[in-house]
Structure 1
Amino acid sequence: MKKSAVEASLLLVDDDPSIIQVLSRILSDYTTVRFATSGSDALRLAKEALPDLILLDAQLGDMSGLEVCEALKADLSIADVPVIFVSSHQEAELEVAVLQMGAVDFIRKPFNASQVTARVNTQLKLKRLSDDLRKLSRVDGLTGLPNSRAWEDTLTRELLRASESNQAVSLVMLDVDCFKSFENLYGRKAADACLAAVAEVVRRGVRRPGDFVARLDNDRFAVILPDTPPEGGFHVANRLLGEIEALNISHQGSPVSRHVTCSAGVASFDAAVPREPDAAVDHEPLHRAAGSALAQAKQAGRAQACLMSATG
C-alpha cells in the first residue's frame, strides 16, 4: 500500500545537484519539494510561495548560507519560516553561528536518511504548533474574526503598500447602536448572539480577497478596504448598515429603531498627499479620522454612516 503524502512544503537550497537529488529522495513523501541552487533563487522562491521549512546549505556559489539566512530573517514576510542548515563542515563554531542567527537545527553531510526525516518532522510539528498559537492570539474567540492585534498589523501593512503604490485605503469602523441597553435588556447570551450575527454580516459583506474585517472590542468592528477611495468606502459602509438592519434583531430598548442598527465612520488615506521623504507610515491618523467620523454618525442620530478624510 502506498504511503500517504505528508502535507508540507519544503525548499531545498544547495548548489550541488547531487545533494539536491539525495535530499529529494529522502523527502519524497512530502507533498511539495522545491529546490534552488543559489541564494538569490532561494530568496525569490521563498517569497513567491511561502515554504513550511527550508533546508539551506552553508556555502553557495553566489552567497553564503549565513547571508541567505540573514536575508530571510530580515524580511518580515518570510522571517518565520524555520531554517535547517546543512553542511559538510565539522566546526562547532559554524553550528553556533547559524543557530544564533535564527536557524532551528544543523545537519551534517553525509546524510543519514532517518535522521534527516526525523529532524524535518520535528521542526514541522513545532512550526504547526507555533502557527496555531499565533493564529489563536490574533483571532477573536466569540466571532472568529481577526482581533485588534491582527487589525493593527494589517492596517499598517496596507498603508505601507498603498504609500508605495500610490493608492488609497479606506477604513470603516462600525458600532452596534445602544448595545449596552441591548445587553441589559436581553442578557449576555443574547448580546453575544447579536454580535456573532453582526460579525457574520460584515464578514460576508466584504467581497474582495484583499478586504479585511476585524472585531476591535466589545461591539466595534473595522473593515480595511485596500485600493478604495472615500466614495467606495462610504458605499460599502452604507451597504453593511443596511444588511445589518435587515437581520431584524429585536431591540426594544433602542431610541433609533425597534431592531438592531449600527453606525459607521469612514476615513480614507490618500497616498498622493505629499509627505516627508522616508517618513514612517502611521496608521493612527486614519484610525482617529474613522473614529471621529463614527462619533459624528452617532451625534447625528445613529443608524447612518459619516465620512472623513485622513492624510496619514
Structure 2
Amino acid sequence: MAFILVAEPSASIAGALRRFLESAHHEVTVVGDVQEALARVRELAPAVVMASVSEGFDGEGLCRQLKEEAPGIPVLLLYLPEEEQPESRAAAAGAEACLVGPLKRATVVSCVNLMMQVAHAREAVAQIRAELQMQQSAGVRRESTPAGSSPDLDFLKRLLFMEVKRSRRYRYPISFLMLEPDRFAERVAPLPGPQRTSALAEILRKLSEALRDIDLAVPFAEGRFIVFLPHTPYEGAMIVAERLLQRVKEVESVPGLTASLGLAVFEPAAVKGQAQVSFGTLMKEAGDSLRRAQAAGGDRIEGGRPTPVEPTE
C-alpha cells in the first residue's frame, strides 16, 4: 500500500479516482486547492501526486512548484479529453507522466503502480552504483562483463519487458534512447583507469539529472548508455534527447565532449490486438539510429517519427 495525493477540484472525478486507487489497496488523500496540495506534500511526502489540469485548477503550476521543492516525488497530470498536446505540456511542466480523460480504473491503477515501481527501481540502481563506487574507492577492481550482463542492464530488460506488455494493453507510448560520446576511442578510452571511470560517472550523472524520476538511464557497454522513457511519445522523447546532448557538452572532465544519440519509439496503434515489439527490437532500432548519427558526424539525434505498429492476427 502506498499513499497517493489526488489534487482535483471536481468532487465526482476525485471520488472516482479515490475508488480506483483504494480498490488497488492504496491510501488516498484528496485536495481541491493548489496551496493545500503543497502543504500536504510537505507534511506527508506521498508516493505519487495526481493533479488535474483544467480551467479551474492549475495542475501544471502545481507540478512546477513540487519539482522545485520535492523533485523526487513523481507527478501524474490529468488532462481533459479535448487536450491536443498533453505529452508535450506535461513534459514542459516536469511531470513524469500524463493521462487524458475519460479515465478508466485499469489505466489509472496501472500508471500509478508503474510510476512507483520505476521510482523504486531507480533507487535500487542508485544503490548498486553507490556500492560499486565504494568498491572502486577502496581499490576493489570490478571485473568487466559482457554487454548485456550487467546488473543494471539485466534489471532494465526485466523492466522494459513488463512495460512493453502494459504499453500494448493500455495503448500508451514508450521511448528508448541509446547514447555514446563522439570519438570515444580517442577522447575517453585512452584516459588512465581512474580518470576514465570518473569521466563515465560524470556523464551518467549528467544524463540522470536531465531525466524525470520515472525515466531510467543505465550504462550498456563502456562508453555507451541506454535511457528508458515510459509514457513518452516521439515529441517528448525528442525534447529529452536534445536535453541529454546538451548535458554531455557540460561534462567538465572531458572539455568539448559531444555525443550521438539513437532513438526508438513504440506507439501502439489505436486498435485492438497485440503489436510486435520487444526489448531486442527497440535495442536494434536505437542502435541502428545511433550508428547513423555517428556516420553523419555526431552531435546529433537520429530516429524518425515512428509509424504506429499494427497488430498481427
**Taking structure 1 as the reference length, what is the TM-score of the superposition?**
0.49
**Taking structure 2 as the reference length, what is the TM-score of the superposition?**
0.49
